Amino acid sequence: MKRESRPHWSYSAINQFLRCPLQYYFQRILKLPQPSISSGLVLGSAVHGALAVYHRYLMEGQDPVEQQVRQEFLETWVSKTEEQTVEYKANESPKELMDQGLALLQLYMKQPPPQNVVAIEQRFLVPLHNSDGEYLETPLLAFTDLITEESDTLKVTEFKTAGRAYGDFEVETSLQATCYVNAVVEMTGTLPTVEYTVLVKTKTPKIQRLKTARTEEDLGRLGDVVQKIERAIANDVFFPIETPLNCSTCPYRQPCREWKPDVVSAIDAVDATKPMDAVNPAKAAYTLNGAKSC
């Protein structure tokens, strides 16, 4: 995958800041090495690689060769597990996870294949705008898994591998879908629909399809959110959000425990016009930890 050298936003960067600004800081500002990768990410990469091979056959009007799809899954799995240490969950084994991935792929390939494939793993570098219609300086980089055409409307399909089924609310509120719609609107001028195809690795594997859509208003709101994140970053507002969901798979648990708020930069962020001794340090620390300044 080509790396974008120009500064840009991506859904994963936006989402990471919203989930835990301190994790964003460790990964994207300090660029600390990631000592490990979660098993879920390895499985997701291997499934995505294999699905891309499958969809390419369809786009080229050929019969998919299942052996090639499985081969791509296994090769991606091996290269990912050789690159980094993989953190498996308790009671999870690599063999079991690989078997689950292959079973999900087989189940997906048994279903009616997508029609009118327009693009696979399409890269978009597009502008973002706020709710006042003003364009932001930093563009958005988006990669869509699959784009098809249905009755003159484009449909973006996002593939997920998950341990449980998704809820409607998750896809209705996901900023990822908003990023995709923003990308397609900027490139084509038309609003696409979005479908989440969730490959659920329960004991009996299943496939769930959830449809969602976004409006022009949602795109402006996405720009508003990104503008606020930019302002927080410019003011050094980074703080931990400790939740079991965030921290159990975080590769930065050690630096996080050692982290202390930078009180001086917090004071600067509160009011740069006041002399240092006029600022209440307690208020400054509260501003940093509670993100009240943005």
Catalog residues that contact ligand SF4 under the rule CB under 6 A: 20, 22-23, 240-242, 246-247, 250, 252-253, 256
Q: Name which of 40 and 49 has its Cβ closer to ligand SF4.
A: 40
Q: Name which of 34 and 71 has its Cβ closer to ligand SF4.
A: 34
- Rounded distance between C-alpha atoms, residue 171 and residue 182, angstroms: 16
The gap from C-alpha 117 to its chain's centroid, in whole angstroms, comes to 23
Q: Are strands 153-162 and 140-150 parallel, antiparallel or unpaired?
A: antiparallel
As measured in angstroms, the least distance from the Cβ of 289 to ligand SF4 is 12
Q: Name which of 22 and 200 has its Cβ closer to ligand SF4.
A: 22
- Kindly tell me the burial class for residue 164, based on how many C-beta atoms sit within 10 Å of its own C-beta (0-12, 13-18, 19 or more): exposed
As measured in angstroms, the least distance from the Cβ of 93 to ligand SF4 is 25
End-to-end CA distance of the chain: 34
Q: Name which of 143 and 239 has its Cβ closer to ligand SF4.
A: 239
As measured in angstroms, the least distance from the Cβ of 222 to ligand SF4 is 23
With beta carbons less than 8 A apart as the criterion, state whether 111 and 207 touch.
yes
As measured in angstroms, the least distance from the Cβ of 166 to ligand SF4 is 22
- Tell me how many degrees the CA angle 121-122-125 measures, rounded to the nearest 5: 135
Q: Which residues contact 13 (CB under 8 A, 6 or more apart)?
A: 24, 28
Q: Name which of 117 and 237 has its Cβ closer to ligand SF4.
A: 237
As measured in angstroms, the least distance from the Cβ of 48 to ligand SF4 is 24
Q: Name which of 25 and 159 has its Cβ closer to ligand SF4.
A: 25
Q: Name which of 200 and 266 has its Cβ closer to ligand SF4.
A: 266
- Rounded distance between C-alpha atoms, residue 190 and residue 185, angstroms: 5
Residue 67, both tokens: 């052996």
As measured in angstroms, the least distance from the Cβ of 62 to ligand SF4 is 44
Sign of the dihedral through C-alpha 172, 173, 179, 182: positive
As measured in angstroms, the least distance from the Cβ of 19 to ligand SF4 is 7
With beta carbons less than 8 A apart as the criterion, state whether 45 and 80 touch.
yes
Residue 48, both tokens: 């995505």
As measured in angstroms, the least distance from the Cβ of 25 to ligand SF4 is 8
Return the amino acid letter for 88: Y
Backbone angles phi, psi at 80, to 5 degrees: -70, -40
Identify the three-state secondary structure at position 128.
coil
Q: Name which of 253 and 274 has its Cβ closer to ligand SF4.
A: 253
